[in-house]
Structure 1
Amino acid sequence: MRVKCPICTKEIEWSQSSPFRPFCSKKCQLIDLGEWASEERSIPAQSKQTEQAPSQDEIEDIEAMLSQQQDSFFKH
């Protein structure tokens, strides 16, 4: 099977004899690595719901729970 190098588009054989596959050379492999490292390339992901600050009720619930702890670290 023949494929194109994702960096320079040169056609290469996809086989054991192509040690840098899917790249044509070590140079193209390192260019690709550099693009990932500098975040020029990325895999799009669905964003999770953005974190929201806890509501006042949630803060009060947490404070009430912490105040019931035996350890003095949680006491005011």
Structure 2
Amino acid sequence: MKEATCPNCGKPTEGRPANPYAPFCSRRCRMVDLGRWFGESYRVPGRPEESEDEIPSDRGRDEDDDR
């Protein structure tokens, strides 16, 4: 089995229940990672935003409105 490493610092780390901070090696590494999320260093990609010029005029109408 491959030895687990901390995703923050790369040190070897144990899994739960021996390590309450898993997958991190320590509370510090866990908090550093959380700070990166709060500081928006990590981002989850999403759909690009549409400008007002690109929004179709019939957007938001139900199909029943056309009948």
TM-score (norm 2): 0.65
Label 1:43 to 1:49 Cα distance change in 2 as closer, same or farther (>3 A). Answer: closer
Higher RCO structure (Cα 8 Å, ≥6 apart): 2
Could you tell me the percent identity over the aligned residues? Answer: 32
Displacement of 1:37: 0.1
1:7-26 map, 5 Å = 7-26=8-27
Report the number of matched residues: 56
Please name the residue that 1:33 is paired with.
34
* Greater radius of gyration (CA): 1
Distance 1:4 1:29 in 2: 13
Report which of the two has the higher share of helix. Answer: 1
Unaligned runs of 5+ in 1: 59-76
Label 1:29 to 1:50 Cα distance change in 2 as closer, same or farther (>3 A). Answer: same
Please name the residue that 1:50 is paired with.
50
Displacement of 1:36: 0.3
Q: Which amino acid aligns with 1:17?
A: A
**C-alpha RMSD over aligned residues:** 2.5
